[in-house]
Amino acid sequence: MKLVSTLALAAVMTIGAATTAAADGHMETPVVDGVPGPEQDPYIWLEEARSEAALAWVNNENERTLAVLETDPRFAALKAEALAIFDSEDRIPFVSFRPDGLYNFWQDKNNPKGLLRRTTLESYQTDAPEWEVVLDIDALAAADGKEWVYQGSSCLPPALNKCMIALSDGGEDATILREFDTATKQFVEGGFVLDQKSQGGVSWIDENTLLVGRDFGEGTLTDSEYPFTTRVWTRGTDIADAPEIYRGAASDVSSGAYLLRDNDAVIHARMARRGVSFHESEYFIEKDGEWLQLDIPKKANPYGIVDGHMLYSTDVDWTVDGQTFPADSLIAMDLEEWKANPNGAAKTLVWAPAERQTKRGGAITGNALFVTLLDNVVGKVLQFNFTNGEWVSEPVALPDNATLGIAASSDETDQIMYTVTGFLEPTTLYYSDGSSAPQVLKTSPAYFDPAGMEVEQHEATSADGTKIPYFIVKPAGMAMNGETAVLMTGYGGFQVPRLPGYLGSTGKLWLERGGAYVLANLRGGGEFGPGWHQTAIRENKQRTWDDFIAVGQDLVDRGFTSPQHLGIQGGSQGGLLVGTAFTQRPDLFGAAIVQIPLFDMLRYHLIGRGASWIGEYGDPRIPEQRAWIEGYSPYQMLREGVDYPSPFLWASTADDRTHPAHARKGAARLAELGQPYYYYEDTTGGHSGGVDNEQRAKLQALQYIYLMQRLMDE
C-alpha cells in the first residue's frame, strides 16, 4: 500500500475513536478499531520508504550512529576481517546441476554484484576449477545504470538453456524478468520481457509459452501485495492480451497456477495453489477444463513425483479412507491413478516421524527421493525408493552429530551433493553419483581458530514449564562467574529451524575476542516439527518470547553471564523476538541488536508484506486477535521511565518485505522518550542487508563494535 492510501485508511478507521492518556507513559492506541492512525502515531510518515523527509531522517541517524561506532579504533580491523571472509577466494563455490554444466553465482571484491558462471564436473572436482562466465551482473548494472541484484532464474526443462532472469534494483523482493539464452550467453533480442517490477514469477510451458503470475494492474494483487491471478503468455503477443487461466482471491496471501512436471520434464498436470493464509493453502488440479480442488488438509501440500507416484506432505494428522497419517508424514499415490481420480486414489504411507524427529527438505533425483531430517536437532538424510511394491528407505552414510543439508541434485541422474557443518567445523561438501557412498569433494577454509572453544547443549524452563533447548559455544573451562560476554540469538517463527552451522565471521569477530555465542531453539520454529511451530503462533505467540527470555535467564542463573554482559540479536521475525525481549525484560539484557525487524505490530498488516503474516500473528483489526498482539508489540510497549539496553536497530531502505518503517519508528519512539539507542539504515540492500560484500562487512563490523562497547568494555 502506498503511504497516501495507508494514511487515508488509517484516518477512516480512526474517525470517532476515543483516546486516553496512558498513566504509565506507553503509547495509547484507539479503543475502537485498534489500528493507530496519524493522531495516535506521530511517526507514520516514516512508513514511506523513500520520501524526502524520511531519507533526511535516515541520513541524520546514520551520521549520528557512524560517529560513535565507525570511529571506534577497532572498527577498521573488524571490517577487514569480515571482508576477508566474505571475499575469500577459497570458500566453497556451491553449484547447481544443469545439462550444460555446474552453475555457480559468485561475488568477490572484483565482482561485487556477482557472476553467473559454469564449469564441468571434472573441472569442479579439482582444487582450481576453470569457470566460464555466463552473465556478469556488474557489467549489466553499469550498462543499464541500475543497482541490479541477481535474484535467480526460471529455466525451461529439460535443457534449461532458455531462462527468465530475475533482477531487482537495489535488492528489493520485487523484480523485473528478462529472457536469457545460456547457450549464447545473451539476452534474447525481442524475447520475453517483464520490465515493470513486481512480485511473482513465471513457469515455462514450452519455448514459446509462459505461465505468468505478476502485478497486472488493478484487481490482480492480494491485500499482501502478491499476485493472485495467472495468465498464459505466448511469444510475440502483448502480456496485456494474455488470457487469464486462474484467479484466486484478494484476501489470499498469494495464489497462482503452476505445472506439475516429473524429472524427465513431462508435464502431468496443470495445478494451482491458493494461499488462504501464510500456513494454509488450497490446491487445485485442472481436469476437463475445470479447477478441481484437492481434498487434502489446508496444512498439506503436493510434494512431487517419485518412482511413478504422486507424493503429498502433511503438517497435521490426516484421517482419510479409514487410516490416519501423522503430522509431518509423506504419503504416496500411484501417479496414473491419481491423475484419473485425484481425490480417490489409494494412499500409502512413505514415512512418518519418530518422537523429536522432523523432515526439513528433500530432493528428487533421476531415480530416488532424498529427505533431510532433524533427529533431536541432529541431521540425517534418508534415501527412499519404491521397490517390489513397497517404499523402502536407508540412511545416507554421512557424519554423525552434524547439521546436514542437500546442496544440489540432478534431475537426470542420481548425482547429489550434501553439506556437513557445525559451529566450530567448517562446512564440508560431499558428492555421490549414486553408485557409492558420498565422498568429500570440497572443504571450506577455517576462518577462525577454534582452539580452546567448546559446544554444550542445555535446557531452560519456559514460563509454562516447557523445556527449551539451547546451544552455547564458549571458551573451554571458562569461569562461571557471570563475566563472559554472551551473544544470544534465535528465531522462533514460521516453522523455520535454527541449527548449528559454521560460525565464520562470528567466530572471527566475536569468539576469538573472548565472547560466547548462544543459539536458542524456540517454539514457533521448526526444530521439532509442525507441532513445535503450531504451539506458538497467533494467540500463543507469547510462548516464543517467553522461551527466549527463559534461555537468557538460564544463562544468568547458571553463571555463564550476567545481564550487563548478555546481548541479544535477531533479524526479521528474530528482530521482533529481540524487540519483545528487551521491552518485556529490559533488566535482563545489556545490548540488543534489532535487525530488519517487525516492531509495530498494530500496523504491521499495512506495512511491507505484513498482511501475509496474519496466519502467524493474528489480525490487529479483529478485537480478540488485537488483544493477543498489543500485549507484546514492542513499539507500543516502549514506556517512559524504563531503562532499555541502548538497542541498535538497523534496516534497509530497499526492504519491501518487512520494510524499514518498523526499525525507523522504534528509533524515533526511543528518541522521543529520551532513551539512548543506535540506528543505521543500509540504503542499498534488501531484506537480507548489504548488496555486496563491502557493505555486508561494514554491517558486521558496526554490530560487533556495538556489542563490544556494550558488553565487553568497562
Distance (Å, whole) CA 555 – CA 544: 17
Q: Mean pLDDT over all residues of the chain? A: 93
Quote the CA–CA distance of 415 and 392 in Å, as a whole number: 20
- Residue-level pLDDT at 690: 52
The cell numbers describing 605, all together, are 498488516
Look at residue 172 in the predicted model and tell me its pLDDT.
87
CB-count exposure of residue 579 (10 Å: 0-12, 13-18, 19+): buried
In the chain, the percentage of residues whose pLDDT exceeds 70 is 94
The answer to whether residue 689 scores a pLDDT higher than 70 is no
Cα dihedral 274, 275, 277, 282 sign? positive
Rounded Cα–Cα distance for residues 603 and 10 (Å): 9
Sign of the alpha-carbon torsion through 14, 627, 574, 512: positive
Name the residue with cell 551433493: 417
Task: Transcribe 16-44 into DSSP letters.
Answer: T------TT-SPP--SSS----TTT-TTG
Q: pLDDT per residue over 134-145, tens digit each?
A: 999 999 999 999
666: enclosing H helix or E strand:
helix 661-672
pLDDT digits (tens, 9 = 90+) for 510-529: 999 999 999 999 999 999 99
Q: Is the pLDDT of residue 58 over 60?
A: yes
Q: 290 exposed, middle or buried (CB, 10 Å; 0-12, 13-18, 19+)?
A: exposed
Nearest 5°: the CA angle 551, 484, 420 is 65
Question: In sequence order, which residues have a C-beta less than 8 Å from that of residue 187 and are 6 or more positions away?
Answer: 165, 178, 179, 180, 181
- Name residue, grid cell 580491523: 77
Pairing of the two strands 467-475 and 516-520 = antiparallel
- Residue 170's pLDDT is what? 87
In the DSSP assignment, the letter for residue 227 is: B
687 is catalytic: yes
pLDDT (tens digit per residue) in 286-300: 999 999 999 999 999
Is the pLDDT at 9 greater than 70? The verdict is no
Identify each DSSP E strand in 137-252 by its residue range. Answer: 148-155, 162-169, 175-181, 186-187, 193-198, 201-206, 209-213, 229-234, 244-247
- Find the angle CA(146)-CA(149)-CA(154) to the nearest 5 degrees: 120
Amino acid at 385: N
Rounded distance between C-alpha atoms, residue 67 and residue 122, angstroms = 51
Helix H or strand E segment including 680: strand 678-682
Task: Write out pLDDT tens, residues 150-206.
Answer: 999 999 999 999 999 999 998 888 999 999 999 999 999 999 999 999 999 999 999
Helix (H, G, I), strand (E, B) or coil at 249: coil
- Asked if 543 and 508 touch (Cβ cutoff 8 Å), the reply is no
Longest dimension (CA), the chain: 74
Cα torsion 268, 274, 278, 280 to 10°: value is -80
- For residue 1, what pLDDT is reported? 23
C-alpha cell at 524: 514457533
Question: Active-site residue 572, yes or no?
Answer: yes
Please report the pLDDT score of residue 688 as a whole number.
59
Q: Which helix (H) or strand (E) holds 508?
A: helix 505-509
Report the C-alpha gap between 521 and 528 in whole angstroms.
9
pLDDT, average across residues 271-287: 96
Structure confidence by residue, pLDDT tens digits, 551-564: 999 999 999 999 99
SS3 sequence, 362-416?
A: EEECCCCEEEEEEECCEEEEEEEEEECCEEEEEECCCCCCCEEEEEEECCCCCCE
Q: Which residues pair with 571 in a beta bridge?
A: 595
Q: How many CB atoms lie within 10 A of CB 469?
A: 18
Residue range 2-16: mean pLDDT, rounded: 27
Active-site annotation holder among 255, 432, 572, 612: 572
pLDDT surpasses 60 at 418: yes
